[in-house]
Chains A and B, each alone.
Chain A
């Protein structure tokens, strides 16, 4: 047994303090009244000022609901599509397979600064502008490279005998996907779902471009709209901090419930190089 590493432990504590202090300050200010924040922004003494959370909830609840709806529909489109594609890549040889697969992976190199403007024009032409389709379909498409990669790698680890024997039992490919691949792949499907939720939760720019009707916005863009309305509604700093907490808490809760899947998803791609 080695000596306890005091030096790195102390360094870690300091780094964690620096990482967390900003967010502790947010939570702390979210329960203060506006005048307390103004007089003593850093002080810790506060009576719980619930009004901040009532104002923030009333402003944010629609955006939270929108985000969950958009994320769920996007996942329901993206994950089955990528499962089917990953299954083909994992189990079938066909001419041009390598090329098609690289065409998927190459998309990771295409920056969204390149696609932003034409995508805006495209959703307008498709009559998706100003409805959730403008978010859902690009989100589902944008997630395909990573999901197809993750799913392919996972499906290749399932013994091929299993596919073969099911096939000989007269099971169709769709049947194999639904009855064999999916039940065995819950962890990697969870990974894909969690990564998509986190990305959709954090996306600010695209909803502000595609959805002029602010009632439809998802949480990151909605948060900025809510904060921007303060001059008109008379909300103060306290409600803003409460809104930050409401924008962070659900996605952190999701992460804590699925930590293993998130960590696996991030490392799976990179470790194999």
Chain B
């Protein structure tokens, strides 16, 4: 490596000779170089693109996973949309996505603003790292911990509420509180990847602009809405899209804590898909739900990108 750097000046002297060399030698070499794409492309084609396509094709079949699938047109889609579950699941997932996007955008944004209001240096960095650490705690641990916290008999939350004279809340087992309980997991929601994304974005704006705005009497909430948010709109857009997609897919808390219940109070399309395929052997039906989710995500993402387009 050192040798090549030393020879650098010498290369400039012979530069007229290079184009000729290129035309003769580089073609086979370039072909070989493109072969370097192969491992990555092969992985992605085999384990990402193929199953994705297979899912869309399979959604038009009836299939129990053992016999060969049989073509059945749109019947899976029709069956799902006409089932009583569709409306319930749509309402629940809409609630979780809207609530979840707020918790994973607004609260991390507030956290980033608070951290930036600290003086630069050691303390700011320490606080930032303290908010980063919980991001890597495995989701199943977080879920179990919150199931304990919200346990009506022994949990910390009801114990605290009890001090204020509030009767025990049934949280996950209450029809009206179960969905909200799912949202509560992770409170106060600062430790989210979007915290780091906002922090980097706001630091990218730079002190000068923010301080100049304050000098001009544009401070506090006004500065945040007029200066900060428009300047990091690209990050806001990114965070809204990725957290929306993540929430639509993440039925793990529901799978572990309520299985969609009580009744159907926490039933969501992702869990319905999982149950159809892995409990009821209705693989085609499950893939149809997965395909519908994918299409819905594309539409919503497109809409979000349009509405939050950065104005230059």
Contact = CB atoms under 8 A, between A and B. Distances in A.
Interface in A86-123: 87-88, 92, 94, 100, 103-104, 107, 109-122
Contacts of B44: 103-104, 107, 141, 144-145
Q: Is the interface of B mostly helix, strand, loop or mixed?
A: helix
A81 interface: yes
B69 to A, nearest CB: 10
B196 A266 contact: yes
Nearest to B46: A141
Contact of B145 (A23, A77, A168): A23
A87 B54 CA distance: 30
A35 interface: no
Contacts, number: 274
A54 interface: no
B36 A84 contact: yes
A112 B298 CA distance: 14
Contacts of A140: 43, 47
A82 B41 CA distance: 9
Contacts of B7: 165, 168-169
Chain B interface residue bracket vs A: 35 or more
Contact of B65 (A88, A121, A142, A221): A121
Nearest to B189: A19
Interface string A1-24: 010110011011001101111110
A117 B129 contact: no
A271 B232 CA distance: 9
Contacts of A9: 118
Interface of A: 2, 4-5, 8-9, 11-12, 15-16, 18-23, 25-26, 41-42, 77-78, 80-82, 84-85, 87-88, 92, 94, 100, 103-104, 107, 109-122, 137-138, 140-142, 144-145, 148, 161-162, 164-166, 168-169, 171, 173-174, 177, 179-180, 183, 198, 201-202, 204-205, 209, 219-221, 223-224, 227, 240, 244, 247-248, 251-252, 254-256, 259, 262-263, 266-267, 270-271, 273
Interface of B: 1, 3-5, 7-8, 11, 18, 29-30, 32-34, 36-37, 39-41, 43-44, 46-52, 54-56, 58, 65, 111, 113-115, 117-119, 127, 129-134, 136-141, 144-146, 148-149, 154, 156, 159, 187-188, 190-191, 193, 196-197, 199-201, 204, 234-235, 238-239, 245, 248-249, 252, 255-256, 269-270, 273-274, 277-278, 283, 286-287, 290-291, 293-294, 297-298, 301, 310
